[in-house]
Every structure is written in C-alpha cells, then in structure tokens.
Structure 1
Amino acid sequence: MTIADTDLTLVDLAGYLPEKRVPADYFAQYAEDDDLTGNAMFRAPSFRHHAADGETSADMMIAAAKTLTERNGPDFLDDIDVVLTHSQLPEVPIRGCGGEVAHRLGLRPSTVLDVHNGGCAAFVHMIDLAGALLRANGGRTALLGLAQNSAAQVFTQPQVRGKPQASIPGDGAAVAVIGLDRGRGSEVLGVTCHSFGQYSGDMTGVADPPRKYWEAGSGQLHIGFTEAKIAKVLARGNRMVPEVAIEVADTIGVAPRDLDWFITNQPNRIFLRNWREALELPSERHPDTFDECGNLFAVGIPVTLDAAVGDGRIRVGDIVMTAAFAHAGDFAGAAALRWGGRP
C-alpha cells in the first residue's frame, strides 16, 4: 500500500563506518578464476570498510547513535517509544540486537522489534513499520538501527575471499529517529512497500561440501550465485526500484525527473546507472557511496543520505526519494521526504 501525506517525520540520522578501510587490492591477491569472474555484477569498488574483530552490530549502532547525541544533546533519545533494528548477520541465533541496543542506550521503549526480512530495503521498511507502531500504540518517536556486518565476517573467509562476490560488500551502520511531529525534522511525504514472496527462495547460502547453515562442516558459507540467478536478479532489480520510486512520486504529485535527489541501495554500478536512467535523472542527483563503502546493503541509503546532507548537497526544502529492493527481489520499497534540516 502506498501512503501519501503521512504524519511522519525523519527527525535526524547518522551513519558510522568502521575504521578499517580495505582497498580492492586485498581481494585481488586472492582472486580465483571461476565462471563469474568478470561479471558486471562484481566489478569491485575502490574501497570498503570492515568491522574490527569482535565489533558487533550493536557496537556499530551505538557508535552511530553517539553521533546523534553529540549533535543534538544527551537527552535526544530520552523519549524513544519504539526501537527497530536490522542486522545483516545477527550474531546470536534466533534473536537480533534490539534489546541490547535499547539497554546500552538507556532507553525504556514500549516496543522492541528486530526486522530481519527487509534486506537492502530495510530502511524504508522500518520507516513504514515505525509509523504503524507509533500510531497504534500512541507513541511519539522511534529509533531505527541498521548494521551491515557481514563483509569482514563472511567475505574474508579463506574459502570465500577469492570469489568475485567477496570484494563488493562493506560494513557500516546507521541510526535514525522517526517521529509523529510535523514541526520537527523532515516530512515523510509518501511511502510504499511491496512483498514478492515468489522470489524469496532465490537468494541462498551455500557451502562446499553442502550443509545447512547451522550444521558443522568444513565448507564456509557464501551466497549461491549462478549466471541464471544473476540474470534474474538484474531483471527484477532494474524493474522494481524505478517502479516503487515512480509509484511514490506519482502519489505525491512530483514527476520523477523533477526529484531533487534519488538515493538507492547500491549493489553495483550497473544498477545505479540503470535506475537513474529509468527516472531520467543525471548522475549528480543520484548520490552514492559505492566507491568508498561498497555494497552496504540496508545501510546504503541512510549512510549516503547522511553524507549528502553533511557535505551540503542536500538543502532544506529539497525532495529526496529513497528506494531499494531486497535479496533476489522478494521485497521493494520507496519513501519520499522533504528535507527539513537538522534539529
């Protein structure tokens, strides 16, 4: 469902990148020659950041939250009613890190929810969920925490780091505060989310020799890409992200080519180019952090938005469209906001 003229605002957001900055040469020294070498999906970014040994999703979210409180004051998070978290790779089986994040920040929310299935579109998904939960429970503000923590933990494994897919992901985190207060922050003009369950089985984790992810074994887990799967993901992603962005743009009465900014997830340069061309936008209005950060999965949108606000590109009054698709295409969402400045 597409919602226009919402009562939501994005009060503020902050990103975090781990200190360890890894050049493409690190992966080039291990590169293997396999069937996917040279595929356009796996053209490596110049750099990516890797979480430190032992640095968890919660650690990175807390680091991003510290930026918010340093900018807005120590009491900025005191009135949080809802905490939503998304970790690309939950460190503890079954549960996520939402409870830990709330506790470490000294919060007493009425609702804590770990959102696992939003994938690269989790930021939009969480905005939508936060609005629904706040309206239903009478709350005023929600904290969204997102972490991409699989680059250092999965893609540097000895059996994985030589694969073409290994050099693409980077680690990082972001937090955002969402509120039901039109007088504070950036108005969320419209949001839409769509689920496509028929594609949910097309993104798989594999190992050699084969095993279930919870079973002991010598093979190290990685993403099971094949030429056929890549073709399907390219076709779906090329279609889905422009579709949801145009859907929201139409609902709020703005022609896609008239958007001030378009910020998406960033799997690779091919998608970035195709998406902006579909919306008839020049590259300078479609910022990304791919060459510095790689594919940040769900963290890509908020980190890029934070960077573009921080360097002055996005100004008060600008309309920003965010859009993404998840996994092999089982979810897609878009949210538009009118940037209202920092609090």
Structure 2
Amino acid sequence: MAHSRSVVVGCGAYLPETVVTNTDLAERGIETSDEWIVQRTGIRQRHIARADETTSVLGTRAAMAALDDAGLSPADIDLVICATSTPDHTFPSSATQIQAALGIEGGFAFDLQAVCAGFVYAVATADRFLTTGGAKRALVIGAETFSRLLDWEDRTTCVLFGDGAGAIVLEAREGEGTSADRGVLSSCLRSDGRHRTKLYVDGGPGSTGTTGKLRMEGREVFRFAVGSVTDVIEDAFRASGTTADDLAWFVPHQANRRIIEASADKLGIAREKVVLTVDRHGNTSAASIPLALDAARRDGRIREGDLVMIEAIGGGFTWGAALIRW
C-alpha cells in the first residue's frame, strides 16, 4: 500500500564570515581560555553575524543554497517554516520575510519557537503537512543570531553560542510504508515547562518589554540532557521498527561535545557514527542540526539511503528526535 513520505531533496547552509576563536574571546577581556572552553565543551570557534545580517538574512541564504542543491526554484515551494528564537521582529515572522526575499508569492510561512529543539519540531511539523496533503514542498529552516541574546560578561554562557542558518527542502513522495522508504520515518516530541529557569532569556515583549539576556544553569541542563531525553530517541526507533544498529549517522544538536558523546554512549550509538560540528560552529541553537547535516552531506558522509537520526533539547525544556532515510 502506498504511503506518503517527506523526502529530503536538498540541503544548504550559511555561516557569517566573522569567526571568533576562543583566544579572541580571552583577548577581549573575557575571563576564559582556549583550554578551559575546549575541555568543557569541545568548542574552538564560532561565527558571529554582522549588524546587517539578521536572522532572516541568514535563513534566506541557507534556503537559497538548499533550493540550489535540490535543483528547484522558489516558486516550487508552498510552505516555509523557520525555527528560531531570535526573529528579526516580534512580528511579522522571519519565515514570511524569508518567503518575501525568495520571491515566493503563494503558499504559507510561519516561525516555530522551540529553542534548540526547534529544527526537530519544524521537521515533524512540515512532515505532517506534507504527508496529509497540506503542502507539496517545504523549506524547513533553522536560523539564529544568538550572539544578540548573550551577556558578554558571563563567561559561562557567552563562550558557548554562535550564529548561522541551515535548511532542507522536503518533498511529498509516495513510499511503501516500510523503514526502507526514503523520507521522515518517525518523529517524537516532548516538553516540560517546569524547567524554565534552567535555561531561559530574562526578558520579552510581554514581560519586561526588553529583549533580555540568556541565562543558564549549566550543570542542570547537562544532567537533564544526558539523563532524560533518550525517551524520544527510543520512541522514534520503535515507531519506525529500527534500532541504533541500523543507523548510519547520529546528528544531534551541537551544544556540548561531552553531552553528545555521553548521550551516544547511553544509547549504544557508536561514536564513529556521530556527526560533530560543535568545535567550529559552537551552539547555534535551532540552526545547529541543519548546519551539521549540510556539512556531513557535502563531505560525503551522508548519502542517499542512509538512516539518519536527528535529536535536540532546548530551553523550556523542549526536546525531540526524528528518523530520516536520506
């Protein structure tokens, strides 16, 4: 029996030209060092957007790269979802600004806010529209300018984050309804708002009337990330009838190398199957997974037919996982 699937047909990314190394941060007067940051996080550098590089600008460039990779034009897209916590404006959405910048006049566009888990949430959301006939092709974008939320006097947070954008094009195609199909095979999403104070921004239009700055209880986030989010991964495996042994690549949110490796070990995923870009991108929140997907596809690691797991946890807490046959 035919079964509709959301198939990845294109992938793209954009990183700002400005690169800031750990040494650069130390030289700017932040009480830190390259050794301290690398030992605790695995991060060596991050990209920082210029003043004129808004989230929608980054997202548009990533989207154009994804369309080019897919061999499609903007007119072929009828759904744009932008996962971001750093939109250009309170409204309109950055997705509509990307839609306009690309010259797309039909379809619909909206932002999705689930912090670092945003791209996984966006993939799951686009999949629902595509597999139920609500759209034919979707641009799913993760784009962030997190550097604008940072307190540059807080060395526990300002060294962790960077800016960037990544995108994929999903297309509705018919499959056989088995785990051998190309496309999104399963997804699982969770949230628990009781953990707000562990990772949050201390401002907003409805509370302080300001943008606010990022605040984090690092140890608590680490503990939750390693100990509590494996449920979505296990559920995604069960829903698709696959196991960790079937995986070609594990592409998690790029927040901290120690979290990534501890999670992979707990799940029985071999470390050689883990895609790591945190060393050169830092934590780019919702952009981190599509940036890592693009890097692994362009260097030849991810190939058509590979089973790929994406997974992330973000403030709230929000977390999720999705299995994709590339």
Alpha-carbon contact 1:170-1:296 (below 8 Å) kept = yes
Q: 1:167 aligns with which of 159, 172, 188?
A: 159
Q: 2:26 aligns with which of 28, 51, 60?
A: 28
Alpha-carbon contact 1:148-1:173 (below 8 Å) kept = yes
* Distance in structure 2 (CA, Å) of the matches to 1:108 and 1:241: 39
Percent identity of the aligned residues? 27
* Distance in structure 2 (CA, Å) of the matches to 1:333 and 1:139: 23
- Show the counterpart of 1:238: 226
Alpha-carbon contact 1:27-1:162 (below 8 Å) kept = no
Aligned AA for 1:154?
L
- Show the counterpart of 2:262: 274
Considering only aligned residues, what root-mean-square deviation do their CA atoms show, in Å?
2.6
Q: 2:128 aligns with which of 124, 129, 132?
A: 132
In structure 2, relative to structure 1, the CA distance for the partners of 1:166 and 1:18 (3 Å cut) is same
Aligned AA for 2:56?
A
* Distance in structure 2 (CA, Å) of the matches to 1:70 and 1:9: 16
| Unaligned 5+ runs, structure 2 | 176-180
Helix, strand or coil at the partner of 2:220: helix
* Distance in structure 2 (CA, Å) of the matches to 1:42 and 1:154: 21
- Show the counterpart of 1:334: 321
| Unaligned 5+ runs, structure 1 | none
Aligned AA for 1:260?
A
Say whether residues 1:86 and 2:78 are aligned partners: no
* Distance in structure 2 (CA, Å) of the matches to 1:253 and 1:136: 22
Aligned AA for 1:31?
I
- Show the counterpart of 2:215: 224
In structure 2, relative to structure 1, the CA distance for the partners of 1:161 and 1:50 (3 Å cut) is farther
The 5 A counterparts of 1:63-212 are 63-73=61-71, 75-116=72-113, 118-135=114-131, 138-151=134-147, 153-155=148-150, 160-161=152-153, 163-182=155-174, 186-206=182-202
Alpha-carbon contact 1:58-1:97 (below 8 Å) kept = yes
Q: Compute the displacement of 1:39 (Å).
A: 9.0
Alpha-carbon contact 1:51-1:149 (below 8 Å) kept = yes
Alpha-carbon contact 2:149-2:214 (below 8 Å) kept = no
TM-score, structure 2 length as denominator? 0.86
Q: Compute the displacement of 1:255 (Å).
A: 2.0
Q: Compute the displacement of 1:248 (Å).
A: 0.8
- Show the counterpart of 2:248: 260
Q: Kindly tell me the number of residue pairs found equivalent between the two proteins.
A: 313
Q: Compute the displacement of 1:241 (Å).
A: 3.3
* Distance in structure 2 (CA, Å) of the matches to 1:243 and 1:6: 26
* Distance in structure 2 (CA, Å) of the matches to 1:92 and 1:42: 34
Aligned AA for 2:127?
G
What CA deviation, in whole Å up to 9, does each residue of 1:62-98 have, x standing for no partner?
Answer: 111222343344x433221211112231231244211
In structure 2, relative to structure 1, the CA distance for the partners of 1:39 and 1:55 (3 Å cut) is closer
Alpha-carbon contact 2:120-2:320 (below 8 Å) kept = yes
TM-score, structure 1 length as denominator? 0.82
- Show the counterpart of 1:315: 303
Q: Compute the displacement of 1:166 (Å).
A: 0.8
* Distance in structure 2 (CA, Å) of the matches to 1:166 and 1:321: 29
Helix, strand or coil at the partner of 2:168: strand
Alpha-carbon contact 1:42-1:168 (below 8 Å) kept = no
Say whether residues 1:297 and 2:266 are aligned partners: no
Helix, strand or coil at the partner of 2:47: strand
Q: Compute the displacement of 1:282 (Å).
A: 2.5
* Distance in structure 2 (CA, Å) of the matches to 1:191 and 1:165: 30
Q: Compute the displacement of 1:338 (Å).
A: 1.2
